[in-house]
Amino acid sequence: EYACLSHCWGGSHPCTLTEDTRAEYTKKIRKCDLTPVFLDAIKVCKKLGLRRLWIDSLCIQQDSKEDWRYESQRMGPYYRNCTVCITATSSANSEKSFEIAERPSVVSSSSTDPESGPFSLLAYPFDLMEEKPHFGHSNSLETALESFPLLTRAWVLQERWLSPRVLHFCGSEVVFECAQSTTCECGQARQSFVDMIKPSTDVRYTTTSHEGLIAKRAQLAAIGWDYFVTTYSALRITYSTDRLIAISGLASTLYDTRYNPNEEGEHGSLPLYLAGLWRMDLTRDMSW
């Protein structure tokens, strides 16, 4: 069992695997060399009882094109097979910590009213209920950039969809996505999947869905690849050459979900993924 870390690199890359650091990092990585985000992710792994953590900048040699070509083709399985994906959702770079808020636990109380009968009372910390950008609500892109910069990155879309469980650290609270549901500390993480994926003039980044990751994958096939590509294309990516690689794992998952490789499609053509398009829909996708 292992966890994956999803994070924004930011401008500088102080802790990366290179030819110069390979010999040292193979033996040991000093704590003082790790960034705040890496240290926080390690703490979370310890709390969860996980002994292994996959971090792209430390598990892929950054100055080796050969290693990058090899590992980039395996990014999908890495996230698909992890126990949980830990995401630094509110951190713009690896130097900004998770900012895990220390607060009293949610207080619950049950009692019985003589007239109305049994009732329960649930009390949340006040700061969770303040007016602030909330993970999963339809905020503008500008608000997302400020509050949840990780969600504007193209690579992250695939990482979230493929991971069986995602643990978001959003600064003000922690949000958990899994195959069945999405929950947060304040209880407001609710948005339909169709609204999340469908492009609009104001919202051009992915948010969350209470329907769970399995439902997302199933509905992706029903909604259509073009809606997904529209949303994905609006997300930011550092290197344009990564644009197709960063969705290759999702394309593979969609193939398994949407198409039966043992059956031929219309006009006798088997489904084939062609650089972001599908052979079965090539004419329509090219015009779109």
From the list 2, 3, 6, 1, the residue with the least C-alpha distance to 150 is 6
Where in the chain are the domains?
3-103+120-287
d(CA 158, CA 248): 9
Residue 97, token pair as written in the block: 């910590």
Q: Is 136 exposed, middle or buried (0-12, 13-18, 19+ CB in 10 A)?
A: buried
Q: Which CB contacts under 8 angstroms, 24+ apart, belong to 138-143?
A: 138/191, 138/195, 138/202, 138/203, 138/207, 139/203, 140/202, 140/203, 141/202, 141/203, 141/204, 141/205
d(CA 206, CA 273): 23
Taking the CA atoms of residue 229, residue 232, residue 234 and residue 238 in that order, the dihedral angle to the nearest 10 degrees is -130
How many degrees, rounded to 5, is the angle at CA 240 between CA 234 and CA 242? Answer: 95
User: What pLDDT, on the 0 to 100 scale, is given for residue 207?
Assistant: 38
User: What pLDDT, on the 0 to 100 scale, is given for residue 54?
Assistant: 97
User: What pLDDT, on the 0 to 100 scale, is given for residue 213?
Assistant: 55
d(CA 267, CA 257): 21
Specify the amino acid at residue 233: S
Question: Average pLDDT of each block of 10 consecutive residues along the chain (288 residues)?
Answer: 91 82 93 92 95 94 92 88 93 80 56 65 55 53 66 86 89 80 70 37 35 54 68 82 80 68 50 74 71
